[in-house]
Chain A
Amino acid sequence: MWRLLRQIGRTGIRTEPAPAPDDALRHETQALGRDIIKTLGRALAIRVVDAGSCNGCELEIHATANPYYNLEGLGFQFVASPRHADLLLVTGPVSRHMEVALRRTYDAMPQPRLVVALGDCGCTGGIFGEGPATCGRVSNVIPVDVAVPGCPPDPRAILQGILTAVQGR
């Protein structure tokens, strides 16, 4: 046990300090703080749906929860059910086989609800495009509030996208 505690102590807190005041992200962090307190009581629940991605976006969504970005420290939480979610994070070109599942997930969310489409595929269909097996961009299937480009977008861009969606609310 001492060895575990030593490792934790030695690692320390790695969460990065808030960006400098002139940084665009900090502005949004502050706005988010106000918004969260006002409307959500300091908790935003996110439901993630992979609608057909290559898994690259999922890897970077996972990274937003690592100690550096510390998504939960900002008041966000990934939840297991769309019924608990305020925001739907969708990745991938929407495959034909995920079209119904995505619609049903969206329909199961309480209102008001937000949708963030993630990655080049979610924004435009990406390199996979549209075809007999894919519906292409997420907005072809459900309404989208914010679309974050990148292949995949890095964790900061993902955070920024979520913050932007919440701010516009």
Chain B
Amino acid sequence: MTPHPLLAPDLVALPCELPAWNGRTDAAAWRAAATRAATQGARLVALWGAPQEVHAAYALPEGLVWLTLPCPPSAPDYPDLSDLFPAAGRMQRAVADLWGITARGAADTRPWLDHGLWPESRGARDYPFVHVSGDGVHEIPVGPVHAGIIEPGHFRFSVVGEKVLRLEARLGYTHKGISRRFTELAPAEAHRLAGRVSGDSTVAIAWAYCMALESATGTAVPQRAQWLRALLLERERVANHLGDLGALGNDAGFAVGLAQFSRLREDWLRLSKDCFGHRLLMDCVVPGGVAADLPAAAADALRRQCDAVAGEVAELRALYDGHAGLQDRFIGAGRVEPPLASRLGLTGLAGRASGIAADLRCDQPWAPYAPLNVLMATQRNGDVAARVAVRFDEVFESLRLIRALLDGLPAGPVATPLNALAGNALGLGRAEGWRGEVLVALALDEQGQRLRFCHCHDPSWHNWPVLEHAVMGNIVPDFPLINKSFNLSYSGHDL
């Protein structure tokens, strides 16, 4: 049994795949726990709201501590945490927008997800951007409809000539009421919604959701299903990295890179369709296991593809590394130094490129990662080049993991029926998606029929504010490149 982390009194261990504890606090203990977490170097993984409650999850070496603070209508506020964890700022603003519970003492109380267009909006339609003034400073507003094929969001650049003095993002355009939608669906069906919170991370979020539901019902997933889930997760990681590596080349004017990597990605997606039934692997992870077994012939095809892709990517990496013009655009662009990354809570892939050595597959290897000894990819330069390098390294490591998963795939069933849903049960799931750590926290209602709440947390919440720092001092034409090197989710953030 993992030792109990001393963050708050009266923590109860949750029956989760990864060690986790939950506890209810009052306002004083809420703030004390956050202070303790900050001094101990714990990470704030997520902060979210629910009807008359606010929740926070901290990652410690021992496991995850999930704290719940009741906020009744008579006192709908709680102590601010954004001075301790800057990433909490926007999450707290989102809690205020969605649940009407406000952070007491927060410096920034502007609406975030609420654009003043819902029936019960509290927000104004004109967003108060921070204005930069001075000789020759002007603003460039971009979006929500962008020039390329990407998700909608608004970026306000304050520039002098070509140089960016400040970038302020305004998100929330893709808000679809996902938290509310979860409560309308049957819990055993809602994995499909979880798989559509962010289309590029469908396996990661669906796995975390299923893990949460399985922990809430005490369902033990068959071993073969766990291995197949990891296989799917690693294939999702490779698919995204291949796409990003091509797009990053293209954004730096190296169109051959896009042509080559998009060809590899297409091969990859086609084999996913053949072996698992879906190009992006949607709905492959289901509560209790996976949707379908992997035939032996398919396993051979997957192995052969790993060999082929490893050779091709090695060749392309040599091309990227040896191309002076490309490296000139990559090196030094959008730099986030490790101390800044640490202070702001940069996480996931982008964090690892800025010296933040955290990868759930290494730090808390859940089944089946423990025996696989995942090698973490890290860089310290924190620039576009570093984020490219981390992607290359992770492609090779995931190819190794896919081979290891195929070789060690245990026999047996690939799914088990979900145990009965118990009233008021809590569930928690975590997974290291390609972008970073994904967390799903849910609670069933009193009858155990519906979800009282379900929060899907994408690491983009942490990294969007850091992007604004990364772009400072760079030139406007480098923004698409820097933005792509983070490749953050709009939909997964807007919910």
Contact residues of A with B, CB < 8 Å? 3-4, 7-8, 11, 14, 48-63, 65-68, 78, 80-82, 92-93, 95-99, 101, 105, 126-129, 131-134, 151-152, 154
Contact = CB atoms under 8 A, between A and B. Distances in A.
A154 B491 CA distance: 20
B280 to A, nearest CB: 6
A53 B491 contact: yes
A99 B202 CA distance: 26
A93 B196 CA distance: 12
Interface in B398-415: none
B210 to A, nearest CB: 16
Given A56-B280, A62-B262, A66-B266, A97 B173 contact: yes
Contacts of B180: 131-133
A101 B173 contact: yes
B489 interface: yes
A128 B262 contact: no
Given A54-B199, A56-B199, A98-B144, A93 B262 contact: no
A97 B199 contact: no
A55 B200 contact: yes
A49 B173 CA distance: 12
A65 B149 CA distance: 11
A98 B117 CA distance: 10
Interface string B129-146: 000000000000000110
A100 to B, nearest CB: 8
The 3 closest A-B pairs by CB, nearest first: A56-B199, A133-B177, A80-B147
18 contacts: A4-B323, A11-B259, A50-B149, A53-B174, A54-B197, A56-B282, A57-B199, A62-B243, A63-B262, A78-B148, A81-B147, A95-B175, A96-B117, A96-B118, A101-B145, A129-B181, A133-B177, A151-B282
Interface in B136-192: 144-145, 147-152, 172-178, 180-181, 192
A136 B297 CA distance: 41
Given A11-B263, A63-B265, A127-B193, A55 B117 contact: no
Contacts of B256: 4, 7-8
A54 B144 contact: no
A128 B489 CA distance: 18
A55 B282 contact: no
A93 B176 contact: yes
Interface stretch (B10-18, B66-74, B313-321): B313-321
B181 A60 contact: no
Interface of B: 115, 117-120, 144-145, 147-152, 172-178, 180-181, 192-193, 196-200, 202, 243, 256, 259-260, 262-263, 265-266, 269, 273, 279-280, 282, 315-316, 318-319, 322-323, 489-491, 494
Contacts of B491: 52-55
Contacts, number: 152
B116 to A, nearest CB: 9
Nearest to A70: B259
A86 to B, nearest CB: 17
A58 B149 contact: yes
B196 A133 contact: no
Contact of B177 (A92, A101, A134): A134
A98 to B, nearest CB: 5
A141 to B, nearest CB: 13
Contact of B199 (A3, A11, A78, A152): A152
Given A49-B145, A54-B196, A96-B115, 15 more contacts: A49-B152, A50-B151, A52-B176, A54-B198, A55-B489, A58-B199, A63-B265, A63-B266, A63-B269, A67-B263, A98-B144, A98-B152, A127-B181, A127-B196, A128-B176
Contact of B172 (A11, A49, A97, A101): A97
A128 B199 contact: no
B318 A128 contact: no
B478 to A, nearest CB: 18
A52 B263 CA distance: 27
A56 B199 CA distance: 4
A68 B144 CA distance: 30
